[in-house]
Amino acid sequence: MTKPVYKRILLKVSGEVLMGQQPYGIDLDTVGRVADEIIACAATGAQIALVIGGGNIFRGLAGAAKGMDRVSADHMGIMATVMNALAMQGVLSRKGMDARVLSAIAMPTVCETYAHSKGIYHLEQGRVIICAAGTGLPFFTTDTGAALRAAELSCDALFKGTSVDGVYSADPKKDPAARRYDRITFNEILSNDLRIMDPAAIALARDNGIPVVVFSIRKPGAIMEVLSGNGLYTTVTKD
């Protein structure tokens, strides 16, 4: 069996990935494909914490742009992340993988409330944990929630699944001369404004020494490839 490069990872999946080819919402086939990959990674002995975004359902900034109160709009975005987390938990469980949603906002009749000790306990029991509701606070994103949970749970790396196979010097879809990096530093990301994650998330990962591994989660099998040190990805490190 493939030997994982990292023992405990935090995998950030944006809500948009779960839409598959649909324009909105949750495509269960896509959730199933990502779940299969997570199960394969867990079978190598790696411990996996997930953070799932909510952009496939609702984004606070979009609501605010239409005149909604930003705090209420962000709370709606936070609820969207819980919906995605529940969908993923259901699919993982149906496939035989023990998974627990831990929400940053208490909703005890729906799922467990996030606590550091609970997260560590479930991971050590071999369960996949899904950290829902981001940071639980408006004006933040699930990228920041992912960096926060990665630091709290002492993860060896934050896997940022995107739609491109790494960090580029410019948008490769717009600039054919864009250069892809195998390695880059957090400070280069911040000073060149390479927006792979929001700056707060980058600073949290940098200050806590957690490498961020950027790869295309749309490519089937990519999570396992990257976990075993193969395939295309960019590693973002302190120096």
Interface residues toward ligand UDP, by CB under 6 A: 14-16, 53-55, 59-61, 74, 77-78, 80-81, 134-135, 137-138, 140-143, 145
Strands (E), the chain: 8-13, 47-52, 99-103, 112-113, 128-132, 157-162, 167-168, 180-181, 183-185, 212-216, 234-237
DSSP letter for each residue of 182-209: SEEEHHHHHHTT--SS-HHHHHHHHHTT
Nearest approach, Cβ of residue 88 and ligand UDP (Å): 13
| Direct distance between the N- and C-terminal alpha carbons of the chain, in angstroms, rounded to an integer | 32
Question: Which CB atom, from 78 or from 86, has the smaller least distance to ligand UDP?
Answer: 78
Nearest approach, Cβ of residue 168 and ligand UDP (Å): 19
Nearest approach, Cβ of residue 96 and ligand UDP (Å): 27
Name the nearest CA neighbour of 102 among 119, 114, 84, 90.
Answer: 114
Q: Which residue of this chain has its Cβ atom nearest to ligand UDP in the complex?
A: 53
Nearest approach, Cβ of residue 61 and ligand UDP (Å): 6
Distance CA 157, CA 174 (A): 29
Question: Which CB atom, from 4 or from 59, has the smaller least distance to ligand UDP?
Answer: 59
Nearest approach, Cβ of residue 27 and ligand UDP (Å): 14
Question: Which CB atom, from 4 or from 189, has the smaller least distance to ligand UDP?
Answer: 189
Which tokens go with 69?
């109160």
Question: Which CB atom, from 47 or from 135, has the smaller least distance to ligand UDP?
Answer: 135
Which residues, including other chains, have CB under 8 Å from residue 212's CB and lie 6 or more apart?
157, 158, 160, 186, 196, 197, 202, 205, 235, 236
Question: Which CB atom, from 60 or from 211, has the smaller least distance to ligand UDP?
Answer: 60
Question: Which CB atom, from 4 or from 33, has the smaller least distance to ligand UDP?
Answer: 33
Distance CA 93, CA 37 (A): 14
Which tokens go with 212?
């961020």
Nearest approach, Cβ of residue 188 and ligand UDP (Å): 23
